[in-house]
Amino acid sequence: MNVAAKMAAQATSAPLVQARNVHKSFGENEVLKGIDLDVMPGEVVVILGPSGSGKSTFLRCINHLEAIDQGSIMVDGEQIGYELQSGRLQKLSARAIAVQRRKIGMVFQQFNLYPHMTALENIVEAPIGVHKQNRREAEAYALELLKRIGLSDKANAYPRQLSGGQQQRVAIARALAIRPKLMLFDEPTSALDPELVGEVLATMRDLAEQGLTMIVVTHEIGFAREAADRVVFMDGGVVVEQGSPEVVLSNPSHPRTRLFLSRFIQNS
């Protein structure tokens, strides 16, 4: 699409996400060992890496589902979870953190749709309840989103009545309904049957082309190649290398990246 416009926007504006020296431990186990990452507005960043490399944990730190132990994460000019008050860093209240999260959409591996609500109710829950939109407006936008993901006829279906791929697409629509500045995808296709992965990736590719800022943790190398502006390879709690998909995926400089990619190419 309008790559030039995108590049221009990125050149002029500050990073939307700015992570500096992020450390995180679970007990004795240090999962993140100093992550630095900038994500520009409109950029699609795909994080690849073996299981246990800390990529999902890092993603969950960005909207403070996990609190970090050291370093800082800024989203849209605000430090997540903390506030600088006359030179002293203060922990934010649960309510203030909730407010910070409202501009970040998230899609989970296990979908986490509300099972007692229909697809439409799932989508309008946050816009009405959290963002205080009126019901008619929210439902109109929800129906538009359902149309965009090709599930107009499933508005009144409960999650149980949908396939895994359909559930995940509804979950994406639910996250889009809050008109997020940033979308986080936590292994969105890992819980799906292989034949259902394609429909979810297609939906995500549409979003990438529309210029939404996305951080995607995935094992789908194909998606990274087609949709990513930048690929970040993580291993052992650090960023091993990053760059354009052509460089990182086709001509990786680090042996660990090469090893990881060779395993995937053998499998497919």
Partner 1 sequence: MTERTISPSIELRDVARAHRPIEWGRWLLWIVVLAVAADFAWIVAYNENFGWPIVAEWFTAASIMKGLSVTLGLTVVAMFIGTAIGLVLAIARMSDDTLFKSLAGLFIWFFRGTPLLVQLIFWYNLSTLFPEISISIPFGPTLVSWNTNDLITPMTAAIAGLSLNEAAYMAEIIRGGLLSVDKGQVEATDAFGMTRGRALRRVIIPQAMRSIIPPTGNQLISMIKATSLVSVIAMSDLLYSVQAVYNRTFEVIPMLMVAVIWYLIITSILNVGQGFIERYYARGERGASDASVRSALRQEEPA
Count the site residues for partner 1 by CB under 8 A: 29
How far is 113 from 122, CA to CA, in rounded Å? Answer: 7
CB of 107 to partner 1, least distance (A): 9
User: CB-side exposure of 245: number of CA atoms within 13 Å?
Assistant: 16
Q: Considering the rule CB under 8 A, would residue 258 count as an interface residue with partner 1?
A: no
Applying CB under 8 A, the span of 3-11, 79-87, 112-120, 252-260 interacting with partner 1 comes to 112-120
Of the candidates 21, 61, 54, the residue with the CA atom closest to the CA atom of residue 234 = 54
CB atoms under 10 Å from CB of 80, counted, come to 22
Of the candidates 50, 25, 30, the residue with the CA atom closest to the CA atom of residue 187 = 50
Q: Which two tokens stand for residue 162?
A: 């949908």
CB of 130 to partner 1, least distance (A): 5
Residue given tokens 């052992």 in the structure block: 236
CB nearer partner 1, residue 159 or residue 252: 159
Task: Tell me which amino acid residue 61 is.
Answer: C
CB of 79 to partner 1, least distance (A): 16
Q: Considering the rule CB under 8 A, would residue 191 count as an interface residue with partner 1?
A: no
CB nearer partner 1, residue 116 or residue 254: 116
CB nearer partner 1, residue 131 or residue 258: 131
Tell which one of 95, 255, 265, 268 touches partner 1 (CB under 8 A).
95
How far is 57 from 64, CA to CA, in rounded Å? Answer: 10
CA angle, residues 221, 227, 229, in degrees to nearest 5 = 100
Angstrom CA distances, 14 to 41, 88, 152, 259, 264, stand at: 8, 24, 37, 34, 35
Cite the beta strand spans of 2-64 per DSSP E. 17-26, 29-39, 44-48
CB nearer partner 1, residue 21 or residue 110: 110
Q: Considering the rule CB under 8 A, would residue 78 count as an interface residue with partner 1?
A: no
Q: Considering the rule CB under 8 A, would residue 88 count as an interface residue with partner 1?
A: no
How far does CA 211 lie from the centroid of its chain? Answer: 14
Q: Considering the rule CB under 8 A, would residue 99 count as an interface residue with partner 1?
A: yes
Over the window 24 to 63, marking each residue x when it contacts partner 1 by CB under 8 A and - when it does not, the resulting string is: ---------------------------------------x
Tell which one of 9, 74, 92, 117 touches partner 1 (CB under 8 A).
117
Q: Considering the rule CB under 8 A, would residue 101 count as an interface residue with partner 1?
A: yes
Q: Considering the rule CB under 8 A, would residue 84 count as an interface residue with partner 1?
A: no
Where along the sequence are the contacts to partner 1 (CB under 8 A)?
Answer: 63, 65, 94-95, 98-102, 104, 106, 108, 110, 112-118, 125-126, 129-130, 158-161, 178
